[in-house]
Structure formats: C-alpha cells, structure tokens
Amino acid sequence: MESSQPQAGSLSWRLSSHPITLLFFLGFRISSLLVYLFGMLFIDNLVMIFIITILLLAADFYYLKNIAGRRLVGLRWWNEVDPSSGDSHWVFESSEPGTKTINATDSRFFWLAMYAQPLLWVALAILALIRLKFIWLPLVAIALVLTVTNTLAFSRCDKFSQASNMAGSAFYGGNLAGSIASNMAGRLFSFGR
C-alpha cells in the first residue's frame, strides 16, 4: 500500500522550502487570534489579554515584514523618509527572477494567510459591535491596521515584482508584446495564488 504524497503547491507544510520559517509565520498569525478569542477562558484579565495580543501582533508584523516575506515569496518592503523634505515613500524589493525559485506551497500559505487574517479581524470587529463589546474595538482596530498594512504593502510589492519581471524579460527578449501576453496569460492561469 502506497502512502499518498501531497502534490506540489498543496497546503502541506512538509512541501515547504523553508518549513521553520513557515511554521513561525503561521504560528504568529494564528496565535494573536487565538489569544483574542480564547484569552478570557484562561486569563481573567482584560489588560493582560490586550498586552499579549498586541505583542503577538507586533511580532507577527516584524517577522512577516522582515523575514517571512523575503524567505517564503522573495518580497520585502519598507518605508523611507527623506531627511531634507520629510516626505515618506514606500520601497518595494523583490528577488531577482533567476536567483530565487518560489515554492508553490510557500506561496499559497503566504498569500492565503495574508488575505485571511484581515478578513478574520473584520469579522471580529463586527462581532464586537453586534455583542456591544466596545472595549475590544481598540484592540481590533490595532490588529486591522497592522495586518492591512502588511497585506497592502506585500500586494503592492508583488505587483511591482511582476511589472519588473515583465519589463526585464521584454527588454532582454526584444519582443515586448509577446512578453506581456505570455506573462499575463501565465498569471491568469496560475494556481499558485
């Protein structure tokens, strides 16, 4: 009897190129939600739950922005402030197309977790409003700001990466129209995200 091996791109952490990074990424993402949801069962202190959840959200934000994004999908972002004018602008960085191969499993876990967590926090905000638990709304608002910021930044970073890859291949290939069409068709029919 053969044991069934998961297929490439499926949601199995065993297929990850960076399983420890992936497990820490998912651990930080899930732990803040679990502490928020089940904290009152184990800790009868609202302030302690608030503090633990904020610390987990901050650790998730930092780990995702500086480690997980770079290792799992080859993307990174940061914000720079021009010292002379005080203007702020976002900087997006992606790995070179030929230097890093993105694992389909890592990519699926990454993007699924990126978009699912803000949706869960929105649902928790609605639930807090319906149940008239207004004391929880500042915590949910902080969670939404942190998760939505990372989600938007990595989404823009991914778009920047795709545009750079398209422009680079068109420049080196010499066939701009063919390159754009093949990249768009590849993106349309890819099941990695």
**pLDDT one-digit tens code per residue, 78-107:** 888 888 888 888 888 887 766 777 888 888
pLDDT greater than 80 at residue 192? no
Q: Would you kindly state where each structural domain of the chain is located, as residue ranges?
A: 16-187
What's the confidence (pLDDT) of residue 161? 58
In the chain, DSSP assigns E strands to 75-81, 88-94
- The per-residue pLDDT for 39 is 87
- β-bridge mates for residue 78, sequence order: 91
In sequence order, which residues have a C-beta less than 8 Å from that of residue 53 and are 6 or more positions away?
Answer: 32, 35, 36, 39, 139, 143
Please give the pLDDT value at position 172: 45
Rounded Cα distance between 34 and 32, Å, is: 5
Query: Which string of DSSP letters, residue by residue, matches 151-175?
Result: HHHHHHHHHHHHHHHHHHHHHHHS-
- Total residue length of the chain: 193
Structure-model confidence comparison of residues 9 and 19, the more confident one: 19
Q: Is the pLDDT assigned to residue 8 strictly greater than 80?
A: no
- Is pLDDT at 183 greater than 60 in this prediction? no
DSSP, res 103: P
Residue 160's pLDDT band (cuts 50, 70, 90): low
